[in-house]
Structure 1
């Protein structure tokens, strides 16, 4: 949902805010932000408590605005050359699906996932609950999603392809999300979306305080600091800069417990709370544009859906994990709580990563060396396995096919695996 759109869920009392580890994991996996502009001063503002500032965010009802957001991520992943490029309009989708059926490089559901890596500049605009626009800029190319009334257009200038849906019922679940002004699940693209995912309820595992003031995009702001109380989390802290006048989050920074530059840093470089021009939300496909209708993609989604999904999926499981379960992963459960929560699940087949050798299912020695370089071999009461690490989210894959993952340290994963025996 756009960062300026009022949400009934956002009006919860401050005592109900919390920071689920699942949210941190999703943010780490799917967003990227560029280091925001340095604070240009520390304005003298009236003192506010943490609860007062959280309530100010929750009560913010800004529905008209426009601005520019700089976004980037630094998870510390190894470079894979051309296998892991950043966002390039036109490069993320294909006009042809793997089965030869036509798709669209402009489809928002997949296109906006490309914000998961690299450095990006976004332009955002809103005029009430029924008009939104988000554009991702890349040199001479641009990718835009425009929601105007009951219509959603997405256009990729690099490939000259467009996605169109009219009416939520006609375009299916995918279009319904966008016709309500929402970006795909797991793709928060602005400071407010990030802040909303962090500030959902309150618990004993989280420390929240006001840590001074700053200026962001030329506006006075309070700095809300959110930190885990628990040991073992890879999250050092989250700073949310909140506009002193409107209560809109203007900047979001997630720093790792290990120190160094921010893992996630999103900030407005320009922001205007005036009503955008009506023409901002107008769109007509340029001549020669290939247009894919939402109904067509809905039909493709249904044709590719697994036929044997279990009926007893855990309540509250993220869609991505449900999809994985449909592919063979099962028995997902959560160990612990708060920032140190760890997801445990089983790989299909009941075995871990393939090993080098000549046996069936083994990998070539060169590939094995590459995999070994990416992970650390660990042992414990659980047996042995490999830990794959980023600066935020780590995962232990045991030799007997179990996976333990979370925004926690390697030692915390080994401890959880030992305790599960």
Structure 2
């Protein structure tokens, strides 16, 4: 008879495509919906001028509250993946994956590249992530567990990499960095966000085959700081990601906001001491700013990933070296989940299954090839056919 551990391991194998999609979406978007109360009358501005305003923004200090809601169009996979053996419930690598689904409220404080604090609110419980100088702390009030790591030896470039993950500023930077000839960028009017006057930058793919309908960034008219980020899918319905401030203050937070001492009786887990022993261990927030990217966590059997196409229809291809999992062989607890998530497809490439979300889709062929990107299932099939 199979042990519980073996059943969990087998279940985990079948949920990998879902987790890859979810984590990829996590970096592309968080969530908040701020009701606009009257569009402010602001001086006209071109898209180029607004992009320059964002690039020139030098906001180093702020505090506030923002809301995150993410709708990938996925059935719930809560409980399908067991917590890694020996992991602490306060470990950021585990805890913040909760942000890939549902709606969440967070408090944020920042004072330059060396001090940031992010608090996830869940009823009376709180989960806090604090970066203060060379220390990174995480604390889960529900379990009374703390997690600690050293953020060692960061130069300016590394500190820049360690900005708070998932803020509208971080999301805007990633999108604008990737914008090019395949992208249409316009100014879509004005809005009121967190009581601030804002311009709305609208970004749309020019290419067909992308799952992204548009990205809308609300930019503070005075400071150039992105206040809200909304990513809409070609599937329609709720935004895939809607992240924005409900309250914001650009004043310098009190230094005590970044102090942390584990409460008496709390279980404290120390992170890996060796550089590279734990992915992202030498970065603020455990490298969470690196979560995402359409090949996140994927390695081919020879460690390589082929990139096909460009812009919004970029597809990552790898060879897993193993046949795709069969739904009818999956544990009962995940069969219904996979049936709702996957569609059988065939073509010149042979046959396989498309695991689909509103944003990231993955084609796993029966001979072990994997194609993944923010593209439609049809685009994945066409790419697999052309690769034969």
TM-score range, shorter chain: 0.7 to 0.9
Alignment deviations for residues 325-368 of structure 1 (CA, whole Å, 9 cap, x no partner): 27x4754211111001111111223x223364xxxxx5579966
8 Å Cα contact 1:25-1:407 kept in structure 2 = no
1:325 aligns with 2:302: no
Q: Which runs of 5+ in 2 are unaligned?
A: 1-20, 280-289
SS of the aligned residue for 2:177 comes to: coil
Please list, as runs of the form range in 1=range in 2, the aligned pairs for 1:198-347 lying within 5 A after superposition. 198-294=175-271, 297-298=272-273, 302=277, 321=295, 324-325=298-299, 328=301, 330-347=303-320
- Higher RCO, Cα 8 Å, sep 6+: 2
Equivalences for residues 90-101 of structure 1 within 5 A:
98=85, 101=86
1:179-212 deviation line (CA, Å, top 9, x unaligned): 948669xx83211111111111542100111110
One of 356, 378, 387 as aligned partner of 1:411: 378
Give the 3-state SS of the residue equivalent to 1:61 in structure 2.
Answer: coil
2:53 maps to which residue? 56
Query: What is the TM-score normalised by the length of structure 1?
Result: 0.76
Counterpart CA distance in 1 for 2:216 and 2:135 is 36
Structure 1 residues 78 and 289: alpha-carbon distance in aligned structure 2, compared to 1, 3 A threshold: same
Change over 3 Å in CA distance of 1:72–1:196 after alignment to 2: same
Deviation for aligned residue 1:389: 1.1
Task: For 1:355 and 1:79, locate their aligned partners in 2 and report how far apart those are by CA, in whole Å.
Answer: 17
Q: What SS does the aligned partner of 2:207 have? A: coil
* Cα RMSD (Å): 3.2
- Contact 2:113-2:160 at 8 Å conserved across structures: yes
* Deviation at residue 393 of structure 1 after TM alignment: 1.2
Paired with 2:331 and 2:200, the residues of 1 have a C-alpha distance of 51
C-alpha separation between the residues in 2 aligned to 1:167 and 1:259?
Answer: 41
Q: C-alpha separation between the residues in 1 aligned to 2:22 and 2:331?
A: 31
Map 1:159-174 onto structure 2 (within 5 A): 159-166=143-150, 168=152
Q: Does 1:354 align with 2:320?
A: no
- 3-state SS of paired residue (2:383): helix
TM-score (norm 2): 0.82
Count of residue pairs brought into register by the alignment:
357
Q: Is the 8 A contact 1:379 1:385 kept in 2?
A: yes
In 2, the alpha carbon distance for the partners of 1:391 and 1:320 equals 14
Once residues 78 and 278 of structure 2 are traced to their aligned partners in structure 1, the CA distance between those partners, rounded to angstroms, is 34
Which consecutive unaligned segments of at least 5 residues does structure 1 have?
1-23, 85-91, 305-315, 357-361
